[in-house]
Amino acid sequence: MSSTTVAKPLARRAARGGSRRRKWTTERIIFTTLNTTFLLALAAVMVYPLLNTLAISLNDGMDAVRGGIGIWPRDFSLQNYNVVFNMHTIYQAFFISVLKTVVVVATNLFFTSMLAYALSRTEFIFRRPITVIFVLTMYFDAGLIPNYLLIKDLGMLNTFQAYWVPTIISAFNLIILRTYIKSIPEEIIESARMDGAGEFRTWWQIVMPLCKPALAVVGLFVAVGSWNAWLDTLLYASGNPALTTLQYELQKLLSSSMNAGVNSVAATGAAASGGQVTTPIALRSAITMVAAVPILFVYPFLQKHFVSGLMIGSVKG
């Protein structure tokens, strides 16, 4: 019995009835209880850092310095968020961050999946050398200056292009996608061929829809990476205030709250530490929340693509 012959009727059943009802055996009760308990404990450990950060961010800054805050603010205050949201650059920066993330995700998914498809074709004659060339790029970095000069010579300094053109493909994501595509049963692709589909159409219409879970993962990786990046703003776009990003502005705010006054104080030996109404540790927490919360919502949105059985449905169809 080959897998396909077994698969078909069962798949239909699965598609029809969803997960069929299972009996609550003793084993299942014990396992489910243990598993749920363990996962809940794990979730508690994992949620703690974020709750702690949230609590500190909602705490009075002067009080927060003393430490010892758990998951509930001791001296509630919105002053830290006031400082963040009163930054005059923040809304423009937020807009650019979103735009940049969207563009980077779209271009990445497009180009990476196209190449991943080509490199998954075992008959492709240059498959190995091209794969090697891409894989190697994971393991070296030319250094800041040559990269900067390249962007400069391409005329992309202080333009939006500097954010996405240099990063339309990542070798890691390429390999992830290629590995996933390879797990697509060959007969699906064969049948597309028999219907007369060319490579582009096979990739776009057959393979892409089947890759949704992997595309969701790669999309998430790329989105998070792009959202969190600030070095590109510093190096390639800090001369253009209209192109500033949320992470860069927050990074600067953090840096100024940490260093405010230190510089001048160290220098003069006689100036009060540059004033602010809150403290670095509390402000850092608020900054972390502002930076993280928007991107935290990407995953729940993508989770709906984490569906089993996509492929088998395709075989059936």
Q: Pick out residues in 264-283 that bind another protein (CB under 8 A).
A: 264-277, 279-281
Helix (H, G, I), strand (E, B), or coil: what is residue 76? strand
What count of Cα atoms within 13 Å lies in the side-chain half-sphere of residue 275?
1
Q: Which residues on neighbouring strands pair with residue 76, listed in sequence order? A: 59
Round to whole Å and give the CA distance between 241 and 245: 9
Nearer to another protein among residue 14 and residue 98 (C-beta):
14
**Quick check: 74 binds another protein (CB under 8 A)?**
no
Nearer to another protein among residue 132 and residue 194 (C-beta):
132
136 burial level (CB within 10 Å; 0-12, 13-18, 19+): exposed
Q: Which of 36, 41, 72, 102 is the binder for another protein (CB under 8 A)?
A: 36
The site string for another protein over 81-120 (x = CB under 8 A, - otherwise) reads: -xx--xxxx-----------------x--xx--xx-xxx-
Q: Which of 71, 98, 225, 252 is the binder for another protein (CB under 8 A)?
A: 252
Q: How far is the CB of 258 from another protein (least distance, A)?
A: 8
**Quick check: 58 binds another protein (CB under 8 A)?**
no
| Site of tokens 């930076």 | 291
Q: Pick out residues in 137-166 that bind another protein (CB under 8 A).
A: 137-150, 152-161, 165-166
For the chain, the distance separating the N- and C-terminal CA atoms, rounded to the nearest angstrom, is 21
Residue 199 CB partners (closer than 8 Å, separation 6+): 117, 118, 121
Q: Which of 24, 26, 67, 194 is the binder for another protein (CB under 8 A)?
A: 67
Q: How many residues bind another protein, per CB under 8 A?
A: 166
Q: How far is the CB of 101 from another protein (least distance, A)?
A: 14
Q: How far is the CB of 192 from another protein (least distance, A)?
A: 12
Q: Are 127 and 121 in contact (CB under 8 A)?
A: yes
Q: How far is the CB of 13 from another protein (least distance, A)?
A: 7
Q: Are 262 and 31 in contact (CB under 8 A)?
A: no
Residue 57 CB partners (closer than 8 Å, separation 6+): 80, 81, 282, 285, 286, 288, 289
**Quick check: 193 binds another protein (CB under 8 A)?**
no
**Quick check: 41 binds another protein (CB under 8 A)?**
no
Q: Are 307 and 5 in contact (CB under 8 A)?
A: no
Q: How far is the CB of 300 from another protein (least distance, A)?
A: 6
Q: How far is the CB of 9 from another protein (least distance, A)?
A: 8
The site string for another protein over 220-239 (x = CB under 8 A, - otherwise) reads: x---x------x--xx--xx
Q: How far is the CB of 183 from another protein (least distance, A)?
A: 5
DSSP 8-state class, residue 242 = G
Closest CA to 98 of 286, 247, 234: 247
Q: How far is the CB of 70 from another protein (least distance, A)?
A: 9
Q: Pick out residues in 163-192 that bind another protein (CB under 8 A).
A: 165-166, 168-169, 172, 175-176, 179-180, 182-184
Q: Which of 16, 26, 27, 317 is the binder for another protein (CB under 8 A)?
A: 27
Residue 313 CB partners (closer than 8 Å, separation 6+): 11, 15
Round to whole Å and give the CA distance between 29 and 255: 52
